[in-house]
Structure 1
């Protein structure tokens, strides 16, 4: 039985699910974002309240802290998220607040992110790990610039599932025409971001309509899913889209007879007997053993913390990456990226920063190329990026760098920039590709592909002929089958 929420409801019964419902074991990570005062904290508070995630002592504290309750006899749900004193005094969200709740079908990790422009960097932090974004819009105000900024950052962070929650619909007398207008405006903007998976829901976070319980009593014209029903059906992002990736965090040598390489698998899977390559050196080896803290494994997948043992002595150090031999990341000294500037001084052209990606830290020069105009949704030429700017840049490294595109792998395609003078994190970015003018496997490039024995290739690369051109050459160790595929691709 489904019980509709009404303006006078104080006790709401849980939704009865079919007996055959199967619980999804993978938690869904989501963020709420949007402009200030759109009701993000209230929405999450309502989710926690109606899914019975608020314990009795928390509820008592909430009633006490709420002071005068609203006309519905309910506490201030936003206080479940706004824990900082400054947040409660000003009635705004400043920091990212993470909360956990679950239904009979699934568990969730939700991040409440700030709406004010000066806290955009906090919103970017929450989006970096999310599978889905709930974008709130005040039904009275419609789509604002900060709404566009948050949607853009979420899409840059690889989020492809959006819920457009048109909140405070009750304050427009449940105006269906207004809801349709806002949905149309957002979908037009979303096309410029390449976002197509959008579920639009009219809600009242305060009253709980179309959040956990349906709002048909007030909105008979809406027959779509509630917010919780949408979240239960959403998909989680996978790190299996690329081959095996192990950023090395530590080399373990507890004794003379053991040498292992420790880290968290950032993509794909591995098992004993697999051939791998150590980057950037290019040394090839085979996996003999996969060890965890308490046992020997016969396989490891993305997210597993492991110690990898190889069949030969190879030079591996912290910051190197061990990868599948037939599915390697990009290597080179020049990459294209998109980033969000996080500090008042912005990004200075030509300045050398520290770039940190995983356990690897390298010197890099940043050249701004363009900046996104959130009002026109166009990329305009820019030679500097100010605070909160979203820009495209060229990255030039002092030595070989290793990346996947962010679209393929969030872990090996993301980075932060650190100012060497202040040690402040000045930007967070995503790799979009290797600089085309520096080569790579592209059908349009003028290039020569040589298939050589590994030892001979290394000797040729060590000669004076390539002393000043090493960054222009892409050396890839591949299996015979993969080499045949590349050659067939070139012949097309």
Structure 2
């Protein structure tokens, strides 16, 4: 019976989703409940959790231990690292990123949600929408996560009262709509008791919507990267120089978006040189067509200069190159980002020197107002930046491509990741200002 159901589904049945929420809102318990009640936990894993729970004096298994794997996480009772879990039901396969709720680890939430197609944001029914809830909603909006689920957890601690759920759902939905979140689905749950996680709750007969798992299984997912602007960041050049292939020169990398075909006219950026694809090798075998997420080696008709960091694109659909990048960023380092800060900008496989020329605004999460010209961004701040790079970069708008429209800023002294950026993204359009950075040897 299950075989028939699976065969009836479309070929694309993978959903990438992330969880987010404040500390102690129950994210790890929700994930553990999903895995446990969907029969996705191996017997030895469950036995290990039961032993660990018993040693801590708990009567039943603490399902949060299924995801909190670091010793520091178990000792402190909080999630620190992003925990990836893979599970499946007869209707869909899932890749789940359980992200930390503590404000100190917001950087990890950015990492976990950057490739997600859906984000589950948990709220404690007793506390309602708090600052970290708003922060996670803002990040989901910035990262253009197309689907957001508001899971109002711990409903058992508020006597399963509908008005409590309704008030929280209304407040969050209004806030998310202001941010530009396209879709919010609110679900009242108790992760600890299992209400509305996998099975419908007998304690909330006033709720007629889907359970969390039912929504995850049925939410429409658009895997349309194969139809986006085609982009291939070159990771390395292959020159085997063997007797069988004395003139072989291939350009290897993972296709970030779109589809490439043999015979297609392409341009190499940032140089702007043009040629045609003479061959595509996939897993050592020649193919006529390759598409997004496949790792391939592309051969070109002409012997032109191509190296790591270059971008191969269709000639008819080449993005502009620029040295002036404007973006919205989430600052993730303890070290502040300041006007005049000298950094390395990593875009795709290319890393170049850059200077922060201006910080036009910082977003205030409470009321979504913009604080003009703050001069610096502290850890977990969200703001607008203007950056000047030493070399031209072929960047797409983040709205067009989450892969080639994003970048990170790196501290050149120690390699620390400072900031995650989305090209062109903005909550508002602050007035243009004159560049504030002084020339100091990195004048591009």
Indicate whether the TM-score tops 0.5: yes
Cα distance in 1 between the residues matched to 2:264 and 2:171: 50
Q: Give, in angstroms, the shift of residue 74 of structure 1.
A: 3.5
Aligned counterpart for 2:189 among listed residues 199, 203, 223: 203
| CA separation of 1:69 and 1:348: change in aligned 2, threshold 3 A | closer
Q: Across the two proteins, how many residue pairs are aligned to each other?
A: 420
After the TM superposition, which residues 150-299 of structure 1 pair with which residues of structure 2 at under 5 Å, given as runs?
150-215=136-201, 217-234=202-219, 235-240=221-226, 242-255=228-241, 256-299=246-289
Hey, what does 1:474 align to over in structure 2? none
Q: CA deviation at 1:238?
A: 3.4
Offset of residue 239 of structure 1: 2.1
Change (3 A) 1:16 1:317: closer
Rg larger in 1 or in 2? 1
**Structure 1 residue aligned with 2:393, among 391, 401, 408?**
401
Q: In 1, distance between residues paired with 2:99 and 2:159?
A: 28
Distance 2:387 2:53 in 1: 50
Alignment correspondent of 1:32: 19
Are residue 357 (structure 1) and residue 347 (structure 2) matched?
yes
Pairing 1:372–2:363 present: yes
Q: Distance in 2 between matches of 1:208 and 1:174?
A: 13
Which ranges of structure 1 fall in alignment gaps of 5 or more residues?
1-14, 437-470, 472-492
| Kept after mapping to 1: 8 A contact 2:12/2:223 | no
Contact kept, 8 Å, 1:241 with 1:409, in 2: the verdict is no
CA contact (8 A) 1:270 1:300 kept: yes
Query: Is contact 2:343–2:412 with CA below 8 Å preserved after alignment?
Result: yes
Structure 1: how far apart are the matches of 2:324 and 2:144? Answer: 22
Match status 1:43 vs 2:33: no
Contact 1:244 1:267 in 2 (8 A): yes
Provide the rounded CA distance (Å) in 1 between the counterparts of 2:89 and 2:57.
27
- Take 1:324 and 1:157, find their aligned partners in 2: how far apart are those partners? 26
Indicate whether 1:60 and 2:52 are aligned.
no
Contact 1:21 1:105 in 2 (8 A): no
Please tell me whether the aligned partners of residues 69 and 75 of structure 1 are also in contact (alpha carbons under 8 angstroms).
no
Q: Is the 8 A contact 2:123 2:150 kept in 1?
A: yes
Cα pair 2:227 2:259 within 8 Å, conserved = no
Per-residue CA shift, 1:167-222, capped at 9, x if unaligned?
Answer: 1111111111111101110011012210131111011111111111111x211111
- Distance, in Å, in 2 between the alignment partners of 1:394 and 1:239 is 28
8 Å contact kept, 2:234–2:311: yes
Shift of 1:16: 13
**Counterpart Cα distance in 1 of 2:425 and 2:82:** 30
Compared CA separation, residues 122 and 141, structure 1 to 2 (3 A): same
* TM-score, with length taken from structure 2: 0.90
Query: Which residue in 2 is equivalent to 1:305?
Result: 295
- Quote the RMSD (CA, aligned, Å): 2.2
